[in-house]
Structure formats: C-alpha cells, structure tokens
C-alpha cells in the first residue's frame, strides 16, 4: 500500500505535466458565481477553459472540447437543456463529463436536474460535498444552501454508493476527500480549512478534475490526482495568508507554480479497499 501511495503521487505529478503539455480544452456549462474563478483555476491547472451555455452553440463547443463540466450552481431550465445537448455530444465523442451537482438536496429543482442529467448522460465523475452525494445516493443528509452541514454519515460509504448507483466515479470532497468507482477507494488528505471560507473552491476542484480527466482515462486516478494537486495548492496558499482574500489569490499562484517534485513529495493519496 505504501507502494501504491507512492505510485499515485507520482502519477499525479505526471498527469499535471501532461495537462500543461497538451492544454486540453475544458468546456464549462456552469454557474454565474464562479465563472471567472473556475476559468482562472483551469488556466492555472494548465488547461484552457471555455464557458458557453447557449443552446445554439453548446453542441459545437462540446464537439471541440476535451472534457465537459456540468455545474448546477445557478441552474435554470434552459441551461439544463443545454447541458443535455452538450452532454450527448460529449458522450458520442467519448470525452469525460464531470458533474458538479451544487446544492442537490437543497431544492427539488436541483436534485431532479442532477438526477435527470445522470439518467440521460454517461457521466464520468460526480464531484460534490457529502450532502450533495448523499442526496443523490439516496442517503440522509442536511444541506444549508449549498453547504453540507452535520456530516454524521460515512463519506466513504456515500461515495461508494453514489459510484455504484450511477456507474461512475464519485469524488466526495471534505476534510478528507474520497474518490471511488464503487470498488476502488482513494482517500486524499491534502487541503486546508481556509478552502471552506472562499466561495467556489468546490467548483474549482471540479474544473481541475475535468482538466485532469481530459488527459487521463482512469477516472479514479484523474480525480484523486486533481484533488491532491488542488488541495496541496490550498496548503501552500494558506502559508502566511492573513485571511480568505489573500488565500484565494495565492491559491491560483500555488497551483500554477506547482512543480512535479513538490506534488510528488506532498500529495497524500492513500488507497484503500
């Protein structure tokens, strides 16, 4: 297992470099709160972001992309329709779809929209917090707005259940991140509590995950690598940051400037199961 851990940290470093070398295009259909921030973190990951949500162009844009992010943060009906159109094109082309079911559980519209996307599309990775994934898996959860509160359940069980139910990889972020395809389980211990004090860090982790999934076919490895790199960027950004504003700025710097050596040495990915 120590061996596997070493391997995953090395693979994370190798994937980070591959993203930077190939600059995959990550098409986002996403929320209005984090459009700028997720575009910037995608650039910092070494990929190219493009945001496009009009029904008139999403199919064509998804047709040029290397990964597709569907993020429900400020969804409205026409946007969900556009997600389905883009998603079908992504599925036909075989590029990964990463779903961020922001606020699933908070309103029926969000829960049902996430379910509709999961029914009609082959999603590669669902990235969400405990409450969002628990809701989708059919477990009990409490969500306040888009914030998971009262995490009494077992995140690993939720991730496994969610992955098996939707036949995809579940990436459940929290104090420890859990990534599972329903059989294999990886736990990522990188991250910093300041990440919870900046809006959209969850959405950012989704974008980095999509950038990594664009170049790595094993979605468990791609998601675990992305969460390790992003979490480590958070740890580095927190050093000497007097508050969430400065931390937020340093987060971009830290991901953009991360070296393979640093990631290989500090990625804390543990394989279980």
Q: Judged by CB under 8 A, does residue 84 bind its own copies? A: no
Q: Which of 5, 84, 85, 256 binds its own copies (CB under 8 A)?
A: 256
Q: Is 98 in the site for its own copies (CB under 8 A)?
A: no
- Partnered with residue 172 across adjacent β-strands are 128, 178
Could you tell me which of 99, 93, 199, 110 has the C-alpha nearest to residue 147?
199
R_g over Cα of the chain: 17
Q: Rule CB under 8 A: choose which of 217, 245, 272, 273 binds its own copies.
A: 245
Q: Residue 50, interface with its own copies (CB under 8 A)?
A: yes
Instruction: Determine, following the binding rule CB under 8 A, whether residue 124 of this chain makes contact with its own copies.
Output: no
| Residues in contact with its own copies, shown as a per-residue x/- string from 125 to 164 under the rule CB under 8 A | -------------------xxxx-----------------
- Least separation in angstroms between residue 131's CB and its own copies is 12
Kindly list the distances between the CA atom of residue 32 and the CA atoms of 53, 217, 252, in Å, as whole numbers in the listed order: 11, 29, 19
Question: Which one of residues 17, 18, 20, 74 is an interface residue with its own copies (CB under 8 A)?
Answer: 74
Give residue 175's Cα distance to chain centre. Answer: 15
Closest CB to its own copies among 111 and 180? 111
Q: Which position has the token pair 């009494």?
A: 152
- Choices 13-21, 33-41, 174-182, 211-219; region in contact with its own copies by CB under 8 A: 33-41
Residues 119, 122, 127: CA angle, nearest 5 degrees: 90
**H or E, element range at 188:** strand 185-188
β-pair type (269-272, 169-172): unpaired
Instruction: Compute the distance between CA of residue 30 and CA of residue 219 in angstroms, rounded to an integer.
Output: 21
Note whether 49 binds its own copies by CB under 8 A.
Answer: yes
Residue appearing with tokens 């998804």:
62
Q: Which residues of the shown chain bind its own copies in the complex (CB under 8 A)?
A: 23, 25, 27, 31-37, 39-40, 43-44, 48-54, 56-57, 60-61, 64-65, 73-77, 103, 106-110, 144-147, 197-200, 241-246, 248-254, 256-257
């Amino acid at each position: 297992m120590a061996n596997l851990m070493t391997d995953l940290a090395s693979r994370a470093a190798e994937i980070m470099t591959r993203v930077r070398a190939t600059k995959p295009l990550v098409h986002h259909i996403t929320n209005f709160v984090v459009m700028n921030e997720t575009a910037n973190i995608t650039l910092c990951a070494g990929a190219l972001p493009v945001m496009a949500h009009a029904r008139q162009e999403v199919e064509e844009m998804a047709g040029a992309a290397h990964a597709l992010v569907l993020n429900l943060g400020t969804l409205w009906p026409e946007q969900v329709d556009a997600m389905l159109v883009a998603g079908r094109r992504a599925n036909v082309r075989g590029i990964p779809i990463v779903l961020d079911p922001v606020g699933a559980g908070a309103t029926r519209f969000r829960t049902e929209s996430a379910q509709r996307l999961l029914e009609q599309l082959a999603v590669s990775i669902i990235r969400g917090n405990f409450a969002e994934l628990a809701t989708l898996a059919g477990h009990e959860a409490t969500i306040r707005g888009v914030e998971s509160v009262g995490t009494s359940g077992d995140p690993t069980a939720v991730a496994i259940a969610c992955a098996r139910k939707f036949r995809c990889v579940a990436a459940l972020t929290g104090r420890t991140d859990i990534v599972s395809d329903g059989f294999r389980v990886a736990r990522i211990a990188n991250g910093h509590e300041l990440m919870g004090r900046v809006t959209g860090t969850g959405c950012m982790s989704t974008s980095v995950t999509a950038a990594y999934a664009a170049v790595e076919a094993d979605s468990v490895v791609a998601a675990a690598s992305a969460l390790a790199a992003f979490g480590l960027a958070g740890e580095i950004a927190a050093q000497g940051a007097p508050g969430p504003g400065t931390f937020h700025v340093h987060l971009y710097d830290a991901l953009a400037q991360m070296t393979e050596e640093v990631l290989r040495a500090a990625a804390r990915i543990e394989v279980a199961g």
